[in-house]
Amino acid sequence: MVTMSNIAEQFKALKPGPQRAEALTGIMRDLSNWELRYVKDVICDNQFDFDIVGNLPLELVICIFSYLDTTAPFRYQVVSKQWREVLSSEQLRASSLSKWYSNSDPPLEGEKPEYGRSNYEIQRLKLEHMQRFRLGKPSSQTVIRLPDHLDIHPQLIGTFDFFHDHVAWCLAFQTIYVMNLRTGKAFSVVGAAREQVSLILLTKDLIAFNTHSGYVNTVGPIITLTDWRSLVYAVDLNTREKRHLRLPNPSLCALSGDGRTLAAIIERHMNETHSTILVWNYDTQKSTSFVIQHKESPDVTAKMTEREKSYVIARFPSIHTELTSLLV
């Protein structure tokens, strides 16, 4: 005689997996509608939910949220009290924000600890800044009017520059304005005698600009320069300390730099076959120069842009390496 206990014991004897699935399929096929509804009611009374966030170790929760959006740990805190407690972990929030921020990113306005905010408040502020950037909804905005002469004289585009966090532009060819786009703070700088500015260069640490002054005298076809001089000023973006270098030749072709080192290309005269490269360090205020030949030496290659003469690539032999490349 077949009893319910025998059926249950036989089902338990089956291995979990395909055998049990096949047995259940056969049983379900022979059930009546009433029996199917009964089975459904029994199944619905069981809870299959499992709170992953509330039960897993924090390390695994961090691993799970690493696949979600940066804002997920903040948005899902409203699910339950348990979720709020787990997702409020500073370690989890920092891990999520690290997908957008790096340790080398300078803090935005209000993100420094000295403002008296807690780590949680700073992280919420970073999240707000990130969302405003992603959605194109700035908390504040500044309109920078570029000098009119940039449109009138495209060749004078050198009086505007942008690098890293700063933008610089020149007004009336004498006053240079420098703005930090992260903080919104700006300052102005001029030459010692308010000379005319011809080139602007921004590096990570410096704002550099070239000025020239003097008198141009014209007598018939002869043009002479009186007291003509050309200077390169460099101003530290943090301390605002201004230093300068006087160029041996007023014909500056291009100005470049990296960090706290500047390089200037002195344009050759019409009857010369070389140009002079002058390299100057802001901190030591020491300079060195070398000459590159344009035609005579096969070991040297020089290239200038035809429109603005903005750079020269020079290759020359070195005592340390077979070939040294310089991009100015």
Q: Which helix (H) or strand (E) holds 4?
A: helix 4-13
Select 52-135's CATH number: 1.20.1280, 3.40.50, 1.10.3470, 3.30.457: 1.20.1280
pLDDT given for residue 235 in this prediction: 92
| pLDDT tens for each residue of 47-79 | 767 788 888 899 999 999 999 988 888 889 888
Residue 59, pLDDT score: 92
- Among residues 85, 65, 81, 63, the alpha carbon closest in space to that of 73 is found at 65
Does the pTM exceed 0.75?
Answer: no
Closest by Cα among 257, 112, 121 to 183? 112
**Confidence (pLDDT) at 245:** 85
Q: What is the DSSP string of 211-272?
A: EEEEEEEEETTEEEEEEEEEEEEEEETTT--EEEEE-SSS-EEEEEEETTEEEEEEPPPTT-
Cβ(299)–Cβ(314) below 8 Å: no
3-class secondary-structure state, position 289: strand
- Check for a shared fold between 52-135 and 149-327: no
Burial letters 234-253, b for 16+ CB under 10 A, else e: bbebeeeeeebbebeebebb
Domain ranges of the chain: 4-45, 52-135, 149-327
Alpha carbon dihedral 200, 273, 306, 262, in 10-degree steps, equals -20
Looking at residue 60, its pLDDT comes to: 92
pLDDT at 223: 52
* Runs of H (alpha helix) within 14-87: 18-29, 33-45, 52-55, 58-65, 72-75, 81-87
- pLDDT tens-place string over residues 309-326: 334 444 433 333 333 334
| CATH number of the structural domain 149-327 | 2.40.128.630
What type of residue sits at position 60? L
Question: Which token pair is 37?
Answer: 């509804």
Segments of the chain with pLDDT less than 70: 1-5, 48, 114-115, 142, 144-158, 214-228, 250-253, 267-273, 294-328
pLDDT at 267: 67
pLDDT at 299: 41
